[in-house]
Structure 1
């Protein structure tokens, strides 16, 4: 690679930036030849074809750690997600992230499904892993497409929401009052039934958030603060309870034992959440407004609240009025 003068007095620029293609051109002056040499070298230095970028060899676990450092630590469940993601890295044998094979992931998911892992859990894990690639790409840490972008989640049948009848509420409260080994179970249960709160929200209530006949829940699942009015008698009951027993403590295990003693059968995983469903179901059945219910429950979207809409009185009345048997006399045999 040089600029040389030929016997005929002209100047030859012979440029070969890297092994392969050469650039040769004749010029009348040495200055022109040198400028051409500089031009070729400068432009080819910018050409990705001549300067291929080193492939990203970072392991999947490295990306998970990077995701947590840059984004995951800000999430409420960030540490729990990272634990799940770390376990996935181990099961997938911690491949180079850029070369993660969607079929390998799908095979691992199938094995997990056959071993009893629920479709919802598997869908959550897929979402967590996708989010790692999406977030890091958005932050400019990776420049390749999400390798799991086209993997489809499992289709999950909508689960029936369990709720308690008035008689079952009475039975449950009797079981708690007569046999509970934890004094906090009753007031927390009453709060859930009266305000539609999640168990953790009611359990975390402090005196400063109970005032003027209303309860304020903060640090909720949707990260929104919401205030729900309650009966003055319930406010008095809770304040007197705090004077006698102090702040609420972890009581969910005691609640589950009381539920078992009551004999009430609920679907798996809906023990304490049934109290929230009970509030919502009774609210709608008694003519409550669906938009008001959304605000009380703290749902981020109305679609979540609409699960209870089929319990509205007018909805149930239409089922009778608009059925094909409407107007026909049914005879007993």
Structure 2
């Protein structure tokens, strides 16, 4: 019963803290062996039934599966994330989950981006991976934190948010209105432009969510219910549309196709979302309050809504009025 060194340089622990309770383990260094022996003795004195846990050898794909079963199924986009995570685990060689190193994750991310994966997509994948470890750690499924928590997302260049001008709105609505094959597309677009709703939120509306001058969105990204006042004429138009055509169907594909047929050229990834940006932009340019806009859009934090602040008529004008050069008159430039 001792700590002995093996021929290959490793150290063998054979300890019996209490009679009938014997532990054996082989470790790389003598220090690790001594710590293991001391832990066994102290733990068994405190709790006679204690025994050391075997090292967690589960692979990343196993953790991904557990994450989905215990948490992912409750998320709106859980199935999509699950598919991304499984592909990511395979791309990383499905390593032992607890032994994943930050350098390996950074290397995989660099390969993704070299193949054309955008920085935003790479950041999303990294965030999904971290969430697997963090959630399972909170649930006590694993006893260690995310091993690559210090890896930071790629810093992205902020893109200006595109929005439609009044003539472009008229052009788009006319193109949608005359498309007979998908009558729902026009009305869903009108709701998005009138409320700042996401396409999916507007498309999922049902009669009981439309009251007297108010539309209530319940299937929101933030999981919070929000109500947006609208013109009575819009409420009447929606009810009339449903009487004639039935409930809304999935028509986002038709919208994207019609949008491409117009003279409007939205930035990549902002097709249906351009309607939400359009509502927000015109609301702020018309003098609307940024905090009110936050509540209408249902943003979780004001920082998201501040992306539209530069469109306010008085935005940052205090930089001129209060800056150190406010009282100076500059001499004319030399000819």
List per-residue Cα deviations over 1:8-31 (Å, max 9, x = no partner): xxxxxxxx3x5659xxxxxxxxxx
For the 8 Å contact 2:81–2:128, the answer to whether it is kept is yes
1:248 aligned partner? 248
The CA deviation at 1:274 is: 0.6
2:223 aligned partner? 223
Shift in alpha-carbon separation, 1:19–1:327, aligned structure 2, 3 A: closer
2:31 aligned partner? none
For the 8 Å contact 2:285–2:311, the answer to whether it is kept is yes
The CA deviation at 1:108 is: 1.6
Moved more, 210-219 or 52-61: 52-61
List per-residue Cα deviations over 1:148-194 (Å, max 9, x = no partner): 11112100111211111111111111222234531111111110010
The CA deviation at 1:73 is: 1.9
> How far apart, CA to CA, are the structure 1 residues paired with 2:69 and 2:147?
21
2:45 aligned partner? none
2:125 is the counterpart of 1:125: yes
Structure 2 unaligned spans of 5+: 6-15, 24-36, 42-50
CA RMSD after TM alignment: 2.8
The CA deviation at 1:104 is: 2.1
Moved more, 205-214 or 322-331: 322-331
Larger CA Rg, structure 1 vs 2: 1
For the 8 Å contact 1:180–1:258, the answer to whether it is kept is no
Shift in alpha-carbon separation, 1:180–1:115, aligned structure 2, 3 A: farther
> How far apart, CA to CA, are the structure 2 residues paired with 1:193 and 1:88?
37
User: 1:295 aligns to what SS in structure 2?
Assistant: helix
TM-score of the pair, normalised by structure 2: 0.81
Moved more, 43-52 or 239-248: 43-52
The CA deviation at 1:105 is: 2.0
Please give the residue correspondences for 1:90-105 in structure 2 after superposition, counting only pairs within 5 Å: 90-105=90-105
For the 8 Å contact 1:176–1:185, the answer to whether it is kept is yes
> How far apart, CA to CA, are the structure 1 residues paired with 2:154 and 2:295?
30
2:56 aligned partner? 56
For the 8 Å contact 1:180–1:254, the answer to whether it is kept is no
Moved more, 194-203 or 60-69: 60-69
Structure 1 unaligned spans of 5+: 1-15, 22-37
The CA deviation at 1:296 is: 0.6
The CA deviation at 1:41 is: 4.3
The total of aligned residue pairs comes to 300
Shift in alpha-carbon separation, 1:311–1:319, aligned structure 2, 3 A: farther
For the 8 Å contact 1:92–1:108, the answer to whether it is kept is yes
> How far apart, CA to CA, are the structure 1 residues paired with 2:192 and 2:331?
44
Moved more, 137-146 or 312-321: 312-321
List per-residue Cα deviations over 1:206-242 (Å, max 9, x = no partner): 1111121111100100001011111111111111111
The CA deviation at 1:328 is: 7.9
TM-score of the pair, normalised by structure 1: 0.82
1:176 aligned partner? 176
User: 2:216 aligns to what SS in structure 1?
Assistant: strand
